[in-house]
A and B are shown apart, each in its own frame.
Chain A
Amino acid sequence: MTRTHRKQRTQRGIIAAARFALAFVSFVALVSSVPGRVTAARPGSIRGRVDVRRPAAPVERRPGVAELGTPAGRDIPNLLRSVVYLESAPRGAFESSEGGRAVMDQRNETFVPHVLAITTGTTVDFPNSDRFYHNVFSLSKIHPFDLGRYAAGSSRPVRFDRAGIVRVFCDIHSHMNAYILVFNHPFFAMTDAEGRYRIDNVPPGTYGVIAWNEGTSSETRPITVPDGGTAELDFTVR
């Protein structure tokens, strides 16, 4: 074996070792960065309760001094429902989702539900269930839209592709308003009538969690989700 041959074999060995090392490092990095792909890790849950100390007052109708009679009655939206969400979600959660459909109805001069929490890519339908016109619009920075006036029984869709908070109004009835919270991950939940919430399928790890109610957010609270277990976290907002 000549010196040249020995030198070539040594170089091939170094290259092969380097390739193996690179592959190993990449595998370790991939496995450690995506909790959902760790075969041994089982997702857990976060649950708890949101106590709304001073519920927001519903937006009142303007006095309507120029109206010729008493305006028709309207429903009062439920302002006690909150949204709890992970501030720092696992990285894999940010992969683009297909997005589903959700509905925000216009009924008795009220948006129903008053708060909607969705993921990016979701299309929200805005049916008009009243016997008169509404005009849904938003001037939010993340998704301004104006659906115009359309008849009872009709619906118009809006697809939300950017994360953020969208305030929704009616151009005809100034007291009508609603919130749409758009997340780029699935780790959020609406509270039920008793203020309880539950976020499932959370990969084990430590996260920051926030509770939101009517434009007011709690401080970020840290929580550790155990492997296959449930972490409990209560909030008091407003």
Chain B
Amino acid sequence: MIARIARLTCLLIAGISRLAMAQALPSEPIALADGRVTVSGDVSAGYACDVSLAHYCGDDLGFFDYTDYEHSALRLFRVDVSAAVRAGAHFTLLGEIRTENLGVLRPYALYLRIRPWTTTNFDIQVGRVPPTFGAFARRTYANDNPLIGYPLAYQYLTTLRPDSLPISTDELLRKRTLGWLVRYSLGDQAFDHGVPLVSAFRWDTGVQVHGGNGVVNATAAVTTGTVSNPLFADDNQGRQFAGRVEVRPLMGMILGTSVARGAFIGQTAVRAALGESSGAEFMQTAWGGDAEYSRDHYLLRAETIVSRWQVPMPAAPPGQAAVQSPLDALSLSLEGRYKLRPGLYAAARYDHLGFSDVTSATATLPWDAPVMRVEIGGGYSIQRNLLLKGSFQHNHRDGGLLLPSVANMIAAQLVFWF
């Protein structure tokens, strides 16, 4: 499978490069109906090798970059096609379809943007809307990401699942590091992946309002899922309320803060843990702070996220400690980019993801293994809309018995957009 993806990626890179060089691919958005319909595309093809393994170009056996059991953020061929249809001055329909590794085409976004007053910066968006929370979630396109990997908070899979629950802290600790494929005693028994702090791979569904004056901008949303588990159809009765305020005190500086709170655990899992009559809601509450400053040829970004999940506390089996709630996680991400010369830049990112301690019958440990990631790389523009990126990524996980605690990945990615 991996060899097939690698071969496919190489072929696609060669194909895209050749077409782009021949100017056979569009370089600007396609405009139809006098500009009322615009279509754009983002294509990225990447491949990575774990060079810390004994054999050359190994797989990411540490599952540091996986977004589910099959998809690695570093070994990904992704095609996004976005479109905007303007219907007068007040309505715009926006949508995006996406396929990963030539799998099923999925609607990533589909929403109606309503601007009630054309002269006022106030919009209402209804449907599968862009993330309100955080800064990185809205720039996950390969063209916006100076590196190839993602910040840990938006990609690394913790061992928490909204549909499957541990019966004890002992069981929770036994699953540390297995967020890419995990199951618990309660709820859904099938293996599936856990959730990141904030999902960069799915958008939530609901209503969003946005307004501001350029210096201060605010966004609020009511949606179906939560930041770590955005949904199209709800699996509990709770709604998520999210808000973001962004201030631009200086040119080039953006300071943002976000909050979100919504019911995280699905009803089926709650009933499995606490009994059929239980109607309790278990919330995810997240707070984020982010800053960006750019000037001349450099760009600096910092983002921190705190997430707290309430989880059901069923009666633990004898000899095991009961599940402790809430479970907290804290992430920090620092990113920088510097343009060395026209078309060439260097970039680096430091990430840390930590978890609160819980106590089982035998030990007190963070409920999932803390992770640290450093990624250093750069990009070269072959032409304006054709970018070749390369990076080295060092991952370290403090704990976990089954998986390697270190992965050193080298990765390359070709990005084309119009």
Contact = CB atoms under 8 A, between A and B. Distances in A.
Partners in one complex: yes
Label chain A's interface by main secondary structure. Answer: loop
Interface residues of A, number: 32
A27 interface: no
A62 B82 contact: yes
Given A60-B29, A60-B38, A138-B342, A66 B141 contact: yes
B210 A149 contact: no
Interface string B19-38: 00000000011010001001
Interface in A54-83: 57-70, 72
A133 to B, nearest CB: 6
A190 B295 CA distance: 35
Contacts of A138: 342
Interface in A38-55: none
B115 to A, nearest CB: 5
B342 A61 contact: no
A65 B339 contact: no
A67 B38 CA distance: 15
A146 B138 contact: no
B251 A132 contact: yes
Contact of A169 (B109, B130, B297, B384): B384
A137 interface: yes
B64 to A, nearest CB: 25
A57 B35 contact: yes
A149 B31 CA distance: 29
Nearest to B81: A63
Interface in B259-304: 294-297
B297 to A, nearest CB: 4
A30 interface: no
A150 B38 CA distance: 30
A63 B39 contact: yes
Interface string B240-256: 00001000000110000
Nearest to B80: A65
Interface string A204-230: 000000000000000000000000000
B121 interface: yes
A74 B389 CA distance: 31
A151 interface: yes
A171 to B, nearest CB: 9
**Interface hub of A69, A131, A138, A175 (most chain B Cβ within 10 A):** A69
Contacts, number: 110
B229 interface: no
Interface stretch (B92-100, B177-185, B230-238): B92-100
Contact of B296 (A62, A70, A145, A149): A149
Interface string A146-161: 1011111000000000
B80 to A, nearest CB: 9
A139 to B, nearest CB: 5
Contact of B113 (A59, A70, A144): A70
Interface string B94-122: 11100000000000010001010000011
Contacts of A137: 342-343
A152 B251 contact: yes
B38 A62 contact: yes
B164 to A, nearest CB: 31
B319 interface: no
Contacts of A68: 123, 125, 130, 132, 138, 208, 210, 217, 219, 244
Given A65-B84, A66-B138, A148 B296 contact: yes
A234 B114 CA distance: 48
Given A60-B35, A65-B82, A139 B29 contact: no
7 contacts: A62-B38, A69-B210, A69-B217, A70-B115, A70-B123, A72-B121, A149-B297
Nearest 9 pairs of A and B residues by beta carbon: A63-B84, A144-B342, A69-B123, A69-B210, A148-B296, A66-B138, A148-B297, A146-B342, A63-B82
Given A68-B125, A69-B210, 14 more contacts: A59-B28, A61-B29, A63-B82, A63-B94, A65-B95, A67-B138, A69-B123, A70-B121, A72-B121, A139-B383, A144-B343, A148-B339, A149-B294, A151-B251
